[in-house]
Amino acid sequence: MRLRFITIWAALALLAGAVGTSAQSANSKPSLSIAALKKQAASGDAKAQFELGMDYQNGLDVPLNYPQAAIWLRKAAEQRNAEAQNGLGDLYYMGWGVPQDYAQAAIWYRKAAEQGNAEAQFNLGLLYDNGLGVPLDYSQAAAWNSRAAEQGNAAAQFTLGVLYDKGHGVEQDFAHAAIWYRKAAEQGNESAQQNLGVLYLNGEGVPQDFAQAAIWFRKAAEQGLPEAQTNLGVMYEEGRGVPHDSVLAAIWYRKAAEQGYAEAQADLGFAYGKGHGVPQDYAEEYFWLDLGLSGQLPERADAEKVRNAAASLLTPAILSRVQERARKWFEDHPAKVP
C-alpha cells in the first residue's frame, strides 16, 4: 500500500495559517471602543497596545494596516508583553508591515518563549527545525516543541510526534510519536490524525490495526486533508479496515484530486481506465493521469505508460479536447509554492 506521510512542512504551513489567531481570541470578548483603546494604548498600556496592534493586523474596527500593527505590537513587545512579542515575530516571519526577517522573528519568538508562551515556543521550535533565522538544530526544535506540547499546543504536539517518528533531535521512538500524534489528533489536528493512521497501518508504535488506521484517515479526510483522502481511498480500494468498495475509493480519490493532489489524480485516472468505481472512460483516464504526472508520482513510469496507452484509444479530436481541458485546469489551478 502506498503511504502518504505528513512531514514537518505541514507544521510550517500551520504557522503561516495561525498568524492572527491570537488576535481573534483577544477580540472575541467585549472590549473597549476603538477610540478608548487607542487612548489607553497611547498612554503606554501594554495590553491595549497589543490589542490595538492585532486590530490593525486583522482589520478589526480599523482599516487593515500592517505597518501600524508592527508599531503597536513593538511598543507592547518592548514592555515584555509575551503575546505581542509572539505577534511581532509573526510579522517578521510573514514580512507584514516589516521586511521579512527570520532572524528577527526568532529573536521575538525567543523573548516570548522564555516567558512560557506556548505559541512562541512552537514557532521558535519550527524555525530551528527548518533552519530559518537560526541554525538548523533538531535538538533545539525538540526542546521548544516539547515545552509547547506539554502546555497542550496541538501544532507542537504534532511536530514533536514527527520528530520522534523521524528521530530528529530525539531518539527515534514510534511509541512516543504515537503518543504525541494522538494528543494532537484528539484536538482535531488533521495532520496528526493522518500520521497516527499511518502508524496503525504499519504497526509502528501501536499494534497494527487497519480499522484504526481507517478511522484516523477518515477524521483527517473529512477535514479536507488530501493525503488522508487518498489513503482512505486506498483502504477502500484494497478492503483494509473497511469493506472493499471501489465506488467509495473513487469518491475519496476525486476529493483529493480536485485539490490538485497528484497521487490521487493518478489513482482516479487508473480507476477510470479499469472502470473501478466509475464508468470506464479513457478520456477521463488520460485527463486525470496527465494532471497527476505534473506532480511527484512514485508510479510515474506506469502512469506515463497507461496515459499514453489511453491516448492511443482516443480519436485526435477527443484527445485534443482532453488536452485543452487539462491546460485549462492548470490555468485555473496554479501550482502551490511549498
CA triple 308-3-279, angle to 5 deg = 45
Q: Which of 26-30, 73-77, 243-247 has the lowest mean pLDDT?
A: 26-30
Whole-structure pTM value:
0.88
Per-residue confidence (pLDDT) for residue 6, from 0 to 100:
59
CB 98 within 8 A of CB 89: no
User: Is the per-residue pLDDT at 208 higher than 80?
Assistant: yes
pLDDT digits (tens, 9 = 90+) for 2-51: 455 556 555 555 555 555 445 444 444 445 789 999 999 999 999 999 99
Average confidence score pLDDT of the chain: 92
Q: Is 84 left (phi over 0), alpha (psi -120 to 50) or beta?
A: alpha
Which tens digits make up the pLDDT trace of 109-118?
999 999 999 9
* Cell numbers at 155, concatenated: 501544532
pLDDT at 26: 44
pLDDT, average across residues 277-300: 95
Give the CA distances from residue 299 to residues 118, 125, 257, 304, 324, in Å, rounded to whole numbers and listed in that order. 41, 35, 16, 9, 24
